Chains A and B, each alone.
Chain A
Amino acid sequence: MSSLNIVLIPLLPLAVFLLLGLFGRKYLSKFAGVIATFSVAVAAFLSLSTAYSYFFITGKTEGVYQKLEVMKFTWLQFAPNISIDMGMLIDPISVMMLVVVTFVSLMVHVFSLGYMKGEARYATYYAYLGLFTFSMLGLVLSTNIFQIYMFWELVGVSSFLLIGYYFEKPSAVAASKKAFIVTRFADLGFLIGILILGFNAETLDFGTLIQRLTDPTSTYLQGSVASSFLGISSLTWGLVMVFLGGAGKSAMFPFHIWLPDAMEGPTPVSALIHAATMVVAGVYLVARLFPVFSFDVAALDVVTYVGAFSAILAAVIACTQTDIKRVLAYSTMSQIGYMMFSLGVSRYGGEHGLGYMASMFHLFTHAFFKSLLFLGAGAVIHMVHSNEMSDMGGLRKSMPITHITFLIACLAIAGVPPFAGFFSKEEILLAAFHSNKLIYVLALFTSGLTAFYMFRLYFSIFWSKETQHTTDAHHDEHDHGEGTLSMKIPLIILGICAISSGFVPIASWITSDGLPLETHIDMAFSVAPVALGLGGILLALFLYKKANPRPDTIATSMGGFYRAAHRKFYMDELYLFITKKIIIKLVGRPAAWIDKNIVDGFMNFIAAVTALFSELIKGLQSGKLQQYAAYYFAGVLCFVLLFIYLWH
């Protein structure tokens, strides 16, 4: 595992970004996709080799996986003990994320070769993808909390650029702005958290920070626990604030409102950024600081309840949405909620660290099947030219590969054995069962809902109305068929991953303390979730297999609850109410009034006085040379008289 390889992994996408960003549109628009795909393929290969050598050869010292700093240099030295460094940290979770990010990115690059073909700004698209991949890799490799913050913002920028890729559409512009502002707002919390933690630990480096804040005898930890604000210790405040940033990026309640709108971006982008990689950055952040979190039960409780609530809220909303990408977006939010509360119920070390392992495991498997779902949805949208479920139906014959892979992904997310989601979800439920029964019940219910809404989606797309798109005379030149080979290959590869990634022995690699963890699938325990999942599938089959009035009947019988869920529980309206009615009216208007009338008024007054005075004296500057000479001469005489008066 040479450090050069690891340095190359993030730099390759950066090079692609610079190359395509500078010269892409003019000179390289034909080859942009190929260049970008090739470089990401190299990066993915390097990541895999890094992962192999880390997990099997160099990573372990005496049976414990170590944190290795591959590269580190001091960038800004503020004080003898505070500096901002740049570096690359290799440990189990960052290696796993390296593999996930580069692999999914590669799949998305390949898929986009077909999907984005013929776009006017094809090269720009790949440049943005390169920027995103670079910043996400930089984020996972960060050695200190400030570096992660910088890459965090870079990721936000590239997400903004990609959501607003179709900037001709007002809705895309609004969505990109919304995503940026909401996450920025949450990042403010992150920054405050960084400052609190940095102030208490007197370092920004992850290793030192964790070491100082987890040693019960250290003065740093005692100091940060002793000082409190509003009855809560400053350590808890710092961690909760950091989690706030993570919640913004990971679309946890109440910052989730940007994620569904972010689906305005191109679908492969949604697969990469808003399903597999960027949105799990919040989970990654909590996992990165997990030793510190595990010392602070209050902060972990916040993580747990926010995660669980987001999971169930998103699942309920997902059941009512009709835009397939929005269903997937809410499903993403729900699954990230799983990862979050799984971290929240976990503790440090050994068996208690099961939740940590389960969360990372779920992150790993979720990346594959969720990006597969999105890419499949992308293929469907590519063919149907619509996001609405009602425009689809009966596509299983015309798109066989998409159909099969989508089914695999749905089974995986529903937690049906032996697909990937089953294993990771099982671990999460087990962890929840052992620590918090309420969370366990909620999670179980959510997993049933997940199965239901995923299969509602599946049946609506591929079954339901049988006639459309198969027999009618709609086969004109707009009909792409199932898409090019470059669109099918990623689907197949990801489909294989969605089946097989559950068998990856994450438990022996990624644990809270670096020691391998013995896990076992308890058949008796698995019965309940699997049964619930199958029940959800059957319900969806009953309701959506064929077009029928039953869903509508149920929807009307649910009455207000259905409407509320359909309108996403009025969260957008609530935000609008808060911003428009409260902030703008009570804060913005008076501030604007003061600015307009007092601040500006003062300046205008000065300007008016000056103008008036200049009006009075401007006649002196007549342009007549001899007048000037006369003034000058008179002035000299006055001075002479003055001097005479003073000296005699």
Chain B
Amino acid sequence: MNEIGLTHILFVSTMLFFIGVYGFLTRKNMITMLMAVELILNSVNINFIAFNKYLYGDKLDGLFFTIFIITIAAAEAAVAIAIIINLYRNLKSIDVDDADIMKF
């Protein structure tokens, strides 16, 4: 295992992705859930960069996708935090289980 190849990086990103999923499924605090989502997005970014680097070195498309994902993630984080703060104002809690009025 002398040369670091694509497989190594994909392994890292896979692990990062499922750590994010785990966090999303188990955390009750909405801000930490948001953090887990950021981890998931970052694992995707790593994938894009890795594929671009190892397989399509003649193009930059993977890189552009990464840039756009980062941009959209920033927007998403901002909106999500605005929603969380608004919920906190109304419910005095940011526990995701308290915000369950949208049900049957």
The total number of A-B Cβ pairs within 8 Å is 30
Q: Is B54 an interface residue (CB 8 A)?
A: no
Q: Is B104 in contact with A626, judged by CB distance below 8 angstroms? A: no
Q: Is A633 in contact with B104, judged by CB distance below 8 angstroms? A: no
Q: Is A624 an interface residue (CB 8 A)?
A: yes
Q: Which of A618, A625, A633 has the most CB of B within 10 A?
A: A625
Q: Is A626 in contact with B25, judged by CB distance below 8 angstroms? A: yes
Distance (whole angstroms) from the CB of B5 to the closest CB of chain A: 24
CA distance in complex: A626, B33 (Å): 10
Chain B residues with CB under 8 Å of A626's CB are: 24-26, 28, 33, 96-97
- In the complex formed, the residue of A with least CB distance to B30 is A625
- In the complex formed, the residue of A with least CB distance to B102 is A623
Against A, the Cβ 8 Å flags (1 = close, 0 = not) of B1-41 are: 00000000000000000000100111010000100000000
A623 in complex: contacting residue of B24, B25, B103, CB < 8 Å? B103
A-B contact pairs, 27 of them (CB 8 A): A619-B104, A621-B103, A621-B104, A622-B100, A622-B103, A623-B100, A623-B101, A623-B102, A623-B103, A624-B96, A624-B97, A624-B100, A625-B33, A625-B96, A625-B99, A625-B100, A626-B25, A626-B26, A626-B28, A626-B33, A626-B96, A626-B97, A629-B24, A629-B25, A630-B25, A633-B21, A633-B25
Chain B residues with CB under 8 Å of A621's CB are: 103-104
Distance (whole angstroms) from the CB of A619 to the closest CB of chain B: 8
Distance (whole angstroms) from the CB of A107 to the closest CB of chain B: 72
Chain B interface residues toward A at CB < 8 A: 21, 24-26, 28, 33, 96-97, 99-104
Chain A interface residues toward B at CB < 8 A: 618-619, 621-626, 629-630, 633
The 8 A-B pairs of least Cβ separation, nearest first, read: A623-B100, A623-B103, A618-B104, A621-B104, A625-B96, A623-B102, A621-B103, A624-B100
- In the complex formed, the residue of A with least CB distance to B101 is A623
Distance (whole angstroms) from the CB of B21 to the closest CB of chain A: 6
Chain B residues with CB under 8 Å of A624's CB are: 96-97, 100
Chain B residues with CB under 8 Å of A630's CB are: 25
Distance (whole angstroms) from the CB of A62 to the closest CB of chain B: 88
Distance (whole angstroms) from the CB of A524 to the closest CB of chain B: 97
CA distance in complex: A621, B100 (Å): 10
Chain B residues with CB under 8 Å of A622's CB are: 100, 103
CA distance in complex: A619, B104 (Å): 8
Chain A residues with CB under 8 Å of B101's CB are: 623
CA distance in complex: A623, B104 (Å): 8
CA distance in complex: A621, B103 (Å): 6
- In the complex formed, the residue of B with least CB distance to A633 is B21
- In the complex formed, the residue of A with least CB distance to B104 is A618
Chain B residues with CB under 8 Å of A623's CB are: 99-103
Chain B residues with CB under 8 Å of A629's CB are: 24-25
Distance (whole angstroms) from the CB of A611 to the closest CB of chain B: 12
Distance (whole angstroms) from the CB of A378 to the closest CB of chain B: 68
Chain A residues with CB under 8 Å of B102's CB are: 623
CA distance in complex: A623, B100 (Å): 4
- In the complex formed, the residue of B with least CB distance to A630 is B25
Distance (whole angstroms) from the CB of A618 to the closest CB of chain B: 4
CA distance in complex: A623, B98 (Å): 9
CA distance in complex: A61, B79 (Å): 90
CA distance in complex: A621, B21 (Å): 21
CA distance in complex: A283, B82 (Å): 82
- In the complex formed, the residue of A with least CB distance to B24 is A629
CA distance in complex: A629, B97 (Å): 13
Chain A residues with CB under 8 Å of B28's CB are: 626
CA distance in complex: A626, B24 (Å): 7
New A-B pairs, 13, CB < 8 Å, besides A625-B96, A625-B100: A618-B104, A621-B103, A621-B104, A622-B100, A624-B100, A625-B33, A625-B99, A626-B24, A626-B26, A626-B28, A626-B96, A629-B25, A633-B21
